[in-house]
Amino acid sequence: MSSSPLQEIVLTSSPDGPISAYDAFSGATLARFTASRSPRKGLALVGKKLLAASHVSPDTGKGSIHLYNWWSSSTFLNLPVPEPVAPLAATLDGMYLFAGGISGCIYAFSLPAGDIIRSFSAHCKPISCLEINDDGSLLLSGSDDGTIAAFPIFMLLDTSSSNLKPSTFHRFGRHDSSVTSITTGIGGCNATLVSCSLDCTCKFWDLMYGTHLHTLTFPCAVLGMVMDPLESHFYVAGSDGLVYNGTLKVAARQRPAKRRHEPVWRQKHGGAVIAMAMLNVGKNLITASEDGSVWVWEVERGKVIKVLGEELGSISGLVVAKGFGDFGGLRVQMGGEIAEASQWRSRLGLSSKEVSRPIKEIMEMEELLNVVAQDRSRAITNLESAIGIYERLLELILKETKAGTKNDGSDEEKDDA
């Protein structure tokens, strides 16, 4: 695995043990964050400074959310919740955190105070996954009832209408079983949304118009999907322990409505693949299995090149923290010792010159610039649909305003009576 200009730290959670942090390049264990027993999807990055984990007490069954900073292995803030929650998602600025409950309710917390500023019923069964789209405008939720909903975040954070149920941007047609994962591409409200399910399918949707584009069918339940930075290829987490891959180069509307599953990589986890993420600007894929194995793959060859945390127990979630340098002086605790994250590479016997490899990094930065150039051309295309997006949001705002005015009028009539 070649070094990346972006430092990447892999974090895994477990229903049985601590949250573990690894250097994605060296594989070294950086830290263990204690005291959390996290259910599936119950791990989230909160801006650049915090880490959030859902926690279910093994003694009482009550739920809470633990917040950690990068400076200590212990919880610095415990957020009580009315019910057990599992999936978490934070706004891009790290100021708000959303949690999905087993009742189908979504809770919005302000940070760092931890106050619940809003709660509302989003689905009729437990929330199974939460995701925020790339521009931070929409909160996407999936449920055991098989449906997906999209909510404008600015409406969820509007405390003046906290007593009203927020309007949905879209509510998508249902899967035949629980939604396990939601992924969106680049483009804000104009992106493609992909939903995965225990019904062995991945469904592709037009996020702007809420229309179904096509469906891929697999030989097993699908627990997740990621796309590479160029959105030219995708990778699917199978409950059979396999990783399936396919191409997105064919225009979505030219695909048949239903297709059989894509090619599969040969190496197989000992349990279901429950989470995955891209590393190293799309050159590598990391997968985590419920059997405790965490593998780093070379995408080009489809082969495992590194194994992380070979002594892990069961895993419930995986996220990747990305940033330049040392995450602004990131320090983590391991075995009671405080150390700079950059020191781990020097402990492996590598000099600073060997690690930096300036020529190689310049080449990789050129690749990044090529990606940015392609994203820019895509953004120009997306601007053409921006007017339509804001018109729809305006309609939702007017609808909320009319509903609030109507309720105020009803209250005044009751007072007059």
CATH code for the domain in which residue 141 is found: 2.130.10.10
DSSP assignment letter at 329:
T
Does residue 178 belong to any structural domain of this protein? yes
Q: What pLDDT is attached to residue 3?
A: 54
Question: What pLDDT does 158 receive?
Answer: 84
Q: What is the tens place of the pLDDT at every residue in 9-47? A: 999 999 988 999 999 988 899 999 999 999 999 999 999
- Tokens linked to 31: 């830290």
pLDDT classification of 223: cutoffs 50, 70, 90: very high
Whether residue 272 lies inside any domain: the answer is yes
In this prediction, residue 343 carries a pLDDT of: 46
- How big is the chain, counted in residues? 417
Average pLDDT over residues 67-74: 92
Query: What are the tokens at 413?
Result: 């009539």
Residue 273 domain-assigned (yes or no): yes
Domain-embedded: residue 1? no
Q: Residue range 296-305: average pLDDT?
A: 95
Please answer whether residues 39 and 350 qualify as being in contact, where contact means their C-beta atoms are separated by less than 8 angstroms: no
d(Cα 55, Cα 89) in Å, to the nearest integer? 15
Ordered strands of the 138-143 beta sheet: 127-132, 138-143, 148-152, 170-172
Which of the pair, 287 or 250, is modelled with greater confidence?
287
* pLDDT surpassing 60 at residue 6: yes
| Mean pLDDT lowest among 101-110, 254-263, 397-406 | 254-263
398-412 average pLDDT score? 67
Residue pLDDT, tens place only, 101-147: 999 999 999 998 999 999 999 999 999 999 999 999 999 999 999 99
Whether residue 319 is contained in a domain is answered as yes
**How many structural domains are present in the chain?**
1
Closest CA to 50 of 357, 298, 274, 327: 327
How would you classify residue 335: left for phi > 0, otherwise alpha for psi between -120 and 50, otherwise beta?
left
What percent of the chain has pLDDT above 70? 74
- Joined tokens for residue 355: 């690690």
Higher pLDDT, 257 or 9: 9
Give the pLDDT of residue 355: 37
* pLDDT for residue 327: 44
Residue-level pLDDT at 145:
96
Owning domain of residue 403: 7-416
> Does 236 map to a domain?
yes
**pLDDT digit string (tens) for 321-361?**
987 444 434 444 443 333 444 443 443 333 334 334 444 45
Query: Across all residues in the chain, what is the average pLDDT?
Result: 82
Residue 412 has a pLDDT of: 56
With beta carbons less than 8 A apart as the criterion, state whether 81 and 65 touch.
yes
Phi/psi of residue 199, nearest 5 degrees? -80, 10
* CA gap 24, 144 in Å, rounded: 33
Q: Which helix (H) or strand (E) holds 43?
A: strand 43-46
Could you tell me if residue 14 is inside a domain? Answer: yes
pLDDT tens digits, 152-195? 999 999 877 666 677 788 898 889 999 999 999 988 888 999 99
How far is it, in rounded angstroms, from Cα 389 to Cα 394?
9
State the pLDDT confidence band at 255, using cuts at 50, 70 and 90. Answer: low
Classified as helix, coil or strand, 265 is coil
Residue 357's pLDDT is 42
Higher pLDDT: 208 or 310? It is 208
Handedness of CA 348, 351, 352, 355 (dihedral sign): negative
Sheet holding 233-238, edge to edge: 222-227, 233-238, 243-247
Evaluate whether residue 44 is within a structural domain.
yes
Average pLDDT over residues 287-316: 90
Q: How confident is the model at residue 417 (pLDDT cuts 50, 70, 90)?
A: low
Using DSSP's 3-state secondary structure scheme, residue 319 falls into strand
